[in-house]
Amino acid sequence: MNAGDVGSLAPELALTAGGVLILLADAFLPAARRAFTGLALLACGAAAWAAVARTPAGASFGGLLEATPVTRALSLVVLLAAAISLLASQGYLRRERILTGEYHALLLWCAAGLLLMLRATELLTVFLSLELLSLCLYPLAAFHRRVNLATEAAIKYFLMGAFVSAFVLYGIALVYGATGSTRFEAIARAFHSGGAAVAGVPGTPGISVLASLGVLLLVAGFGFKMSVVPFHAWAPDTYQGAPSPFVAFLSVAPKAASAMVLFRVLEAVTMGAGGIAGGRWSRVVALLAVASMVTGNLLALAQRDIKRMLAYSGIAHMGYLLLALVVLDRRSLGPVVVYLLAYVLMNSGAFAVVAMLYARPGEQHLISDLAGWGYRFPLLGACLTVSMLSLAGIPPTLGFFGKYLVFLNAVSDGLTGLAVVGVLASLVGVFYYLRVVYVLYMRPETRQPEGLLIDGWGRAAAVLAALGTLALGIWPARLLDWLLQGPLRP
């Protein structure tokens, strides 16, 4: 380890230090609690700056971590999610009288775990960062500890998450047993040579069943974090119970990092094995994608609770995202990054508004409760409308653009059939996203706003997300140019 290695950790260090500082301030200066949001935002900003300017591209820690333009872009996506979530949190925490420093510290550490996970090129590092992430996510899900629903949600999440951690660890062990390494490049080599031994025999596993089983466990583990069908069951319950501003983070950031890990795992397996195993894993991913798109959209149709609806819609969105990973090449990552950015802006924006407009977290967040509020809260209503239209994939929003890239990628991989399934599934989506718009503007008010706390920070979060969604949707050129530098050029 040398100074350069430590320097490459600058973003994570900034986040961790910010978290520790907030905890200390919470202990010694409890009066300053209102300043924590600003402090945490500063830490995020510093981490973003460090990730862009101070982390040199390339490997560090002897190749355990590797910074690329993609990880850099995804780091920013994660930090953006953290920032929107933090902005939306202050009002919520004050309203619920649970404003303490732990919340901010845990959120920052989650982000640190995610940044580490994005850059990890080795399975044990991945696992370490996954644990750092998960151990911070569980208490955050249960943060509203006086509310039974929140506790229940957190326990569900914890139990399933613990299983998944075990799966991932077992998968790592199997892969290590079969290939002799935990590094992705070495695993790829092993798969490659294993594949070479039986080349030309389609359908035969190129490498031992052991390793395939291990990879399957890894896919299941990170599929769980991404909430793709059939590993999605936790998402609606957890989203419903967990604090809404935290869900703005939970519903997007871990998915971004997990998508990256999934890409690395699949890349190691398929690029190494040539076409043989590649075709097999393509089918697995395609199956997961179709199942997620169809199931997520159909189940979302039936939801009355806006958070559960967004949970199922999130499942569907991860299905669209997986379309880009069915045929793996360097081109796949551009659509993935753009889609995740779009998803952060629209989904976190939606949850930020939800956090402000629903005052009783223990109860249901009925969509119909928003009736007529588009006129009572014009700004928040407009922001939520933009989020919904973007989630539905209607131009000129970034959500449309993300879908466009994903489907274009699918079509140019020769997967027109999958793209057609995708657009038909998103037609179902249009129906339930529009329902929110309909309730906001076309139904008479049914309830008076009570106990709401709509603060400037929260408004800023909603406006930031909505404006970002619109501006980048209308003018994505600069963003794309910057994101798709070098190896990502389509």
Distance CA 387, CA 462 (A): 9
Report 318-377 residues binding another protein (CB under 8 A).
334, 375
Choice from 226, 268, 389, 461 touching another protein (CB under 8 A): 389
Helix ranges (DSSP H) in 393-485: 398-412, 416-442, 456-474, 477-483
Q: How far is the CB of 8 from another protein (least distance, A)?
A: 29
Binding test (CB under 8 A) with another protein, winner from 128, 181, 438, 467: 438
Residues in the chain: 490
CB of 297 to another protein, least distance (A): 13
b/e for 239-261, b at 16 or more Cβ within 10 A?
A: bbbbbbbbbbbbbbbbbbbbbbb
298/361 Cα distance (integer angstroms)? 26
Token digits of residue 484 = 């798709």
Identify which range of 41-49, 121-129, 292-300, 432-440 contacts another protein by CB under 8 A. Answer: 432-440
Q: Please report whether residue 442 would count as binding another protein according to CB under 8 A.
A: yes
Question: Which one of residues 204, 368, 412, 446 is an interface residue with another protein (CB under 8 A)?
Answer: 412
Nearest CB to another protein, comparing residues 261 and 309: 309
Give 199 or 420: the residue with its C-beta nearer to another protein.
420
Q: Work out the number of other CB atoms within 10 angstroms of the CB of residue 193.
A: 14
Residue 145 in tokens: 């500890």
CB of 395 to another protein, least distance (A): 4
Identified binder of another protein from the candidate list 87, 253, 345, 480, rule CB under 8 A: 480
User: In this structure, how many other beta carbons lie within 10 angstroms of the beta carbon of residue 177?
Assistant: 12
Continuous H helices in 96-147:
101-119, 123-141
Per the CB < 8 A criterion, the answer to whether 380 and 459 are in contact is yes
Select the residue interacting with another protein from 52, 166, 363, 431 (CB under 8 A).
Answer: 431
Range 98-137, binding another protein (CB under 8 A): none
Q: Which is nearer to another protein, 120 or 398 (CB)?
A: 398
- Residue 348 · residue 85 · CB < 8 Å: yes
- Cα–Cα–Cα angle for 75, 242, 426, nearest 5°? 65
Nearer to another protein, 37 or 297 (CB): 297
Query: Considering only residues 52, 57, 304, 481, which one is a binding residue for another protein as defined by CB under 8 A?
Result: 481
Identify the residue among 171, 243, 458, 476 touching another protein (CB under 8 A). 476
> Should residue 411 be labelled a site residue for another protein when binding is judged by CB under 8 A?
yes
User: Least CB distance from residue 353 to another protein, whole Å?
Assistant: 18
Under a CB-based contact definition with an 8 Å cutoff, are residues 148 and 139 in contact?
Answer: no
3-state secondary structure of 485: coil
Distance between CA atoms of 120 and 183, rounded to whole angstroms? 9
Q: Closest CB to another protein among 224 and 407?
A: 407
Instruction: Tell me how far, at minimum, the Cβ of 13 lies from another protein, in Å.
Output: 34
CA dist., res. 64 & res. 81, Å (int): 25
Sole window of 39-47, 250-258, 264-272, 392-400 interacting with another protein (rule: CB under 8 A) = 392-400
Applying CB under 8 A, the site for another protein has a residue count of 34
Among 102, 170, 396, 453, binds another protein (CB under 8 A): 396
Residue 408 CB-density burial (10 A; 0-12 exposed, 13-18 middle, 19+ buried): middle
Contact 67, 81 (CB under 8 A): no
Of the residues 10, 13, 20, 434, which one makes contact with another protein according to CB under 8 A: 434
Residues at the interface with another protein (CB under 8 A): 334, 375, 389, 394-396, 400, 404-405, 407-408, 411-412, 416, 419-420, 423-424, 426-427, 430-431, 434, 437-438, 441-442, 476-477, 480-481, 484, 489-490
